[in-house]
Amino acid sequence: MAPAGAKKSILERLDAGELVIGDGGFVFALEKRGYVKAGPWTPEAAAEYPEAVRQLHREFLRAGSNVMQTFTFYASDDKLENRGNTQRFTGQQINEAACDLAREVANEGDALVAGGVSQTPSYLSCKSEEDVKAIFKKQIDVFVKKNVDFLIAEYFEHVEEAEWAVQVLKTTGKPVAATLCIGPEGDLNGVSPGECAVRLVKAGAQIVGINCHFDPETCVKTVKLMKEGVEKAGLKAHYMSQPLGFHTPDCNRQGFIDLPEFPFALEPRILTRWDMQKYAREAYNAGIRFIGGCCGFEPYHIRALAEELSPERGFLPAGSEKHGNWGDGLALHTKPWVRARARRDYWETLKPASGRPFCPSMSKPDGWGVTKGHADLMQQREATSKEQLKILFDKANQND
């Protein structure tokens, strides 16, 4: 039990059946705001533009999140220096700054701080287990020093690398969550979601689930498969879901990065706040109790999750002060036809138009069919050369 006045831990909350609302997608949100570069997607903004990261944390807190994830996605040294990406800050400086910002904002509410690690270029380039684990160890040394509340291994396409990450995170003695960026077909080596979950639990994760790469519907479906696998194996775990804020019914095994719109033309796919309420309810009904979001999730999306689940949580988020239930604030509008939209049945059944009459509703994903070990996925510290790009351009044209 937590001492009087202390915050309950992540496991105390989940063990008690409480709902935990995660935060949203920092890399996409900050890229749109001008603080992250698309391509490397690295989080140097934590040290370079701390005011931007702090503000986004605050917006998610106000929207109802009670987990502040450190902005440490892709903050391993090998990723920070990959393909000519130059840095003014070391990985340690970025990780430490991210921990400080998350803790500062978490202390403004009933939020916990989660330190996160993610997949590495070293694994894709077939480096040894020892080498990959050393990269994770360097990051978690900072998390231990900064005393984060729990740890998340997130965004792994291969369960093997996620297992290695969990094994390293477990050495801290802190609670560990692990999420893969896979769909119902399994990881990129064909390991099923159920088997992936069993392996993560056996490696030491107390919370398992899915993040990124797919939309909420697909992610909830995949977490259900993970839950079935864990229960069939006679194991126990808590479950989490942090999907994309984009509709992706046309994705293949690789997820949204194979869509031709990735990453600069995904806006027509953004989920509405009402889509998010549907997701929150479906996740809850599936037995998922850690419900958040990833790329594409903005604070108003998280607010929608918190509002939908307010009966179970027993309260509304602070951000609902400026948001009427199911649009009832529109009753204050000057135009009568807009006032007529101040009702749940209108928004719950609306089929939004895209305003793009010559655009398809679905895309044809790229399907290069490469993963760890393929020459195309070998990473390098040097910048990608013009010659290397030409080879890729020619290959892309052949696949069109």
- Cite the annotated binding site for Zn(2+) by residue number: 212, 294-295
Q: Which helix (H) or strand (E) holds 179?
A: strand 176-180
Q: Concatenate the DSSP letters of all residues of 259-307 into one string.
A: STTTTTS-GGGBPPHHHHHHHHHHHHHTT--EE---TT--HHHHHHHHH
| CB-based burial, 200-223: b 16+ in 10 Å, e otherwise | bbebbbbbbbbbbbbbbbbbbbbb
- Euclidean distance between CA atoms 292 and 140, whole angstroms: 23
Residue 227, classed as helix, strand or coil, is helix
Q: Which two tokens stand for residue 264?
A: 């600069």
Q: How far apart are CA 109 and CA 265, in angstroms?
A: 35
The pair of structure tokens assigned to 299 is 């604070």
Token readout for 57 is: 């944390």
Number of Cβ within a 10 Å radius of residue 393: 10
The continuous run of DSSP H or E covering 113 comes out as strand 112-117
Distance CA 122, CA 127 (A): 5
Binding site, by residue number, is 212, 294-295
**CA angle 95-100-102, nearest 5°?**
95
Nearest-angstrom CA–CA distance, 212 and 181: 5
Residue 67, beta-bridge partner list = 112
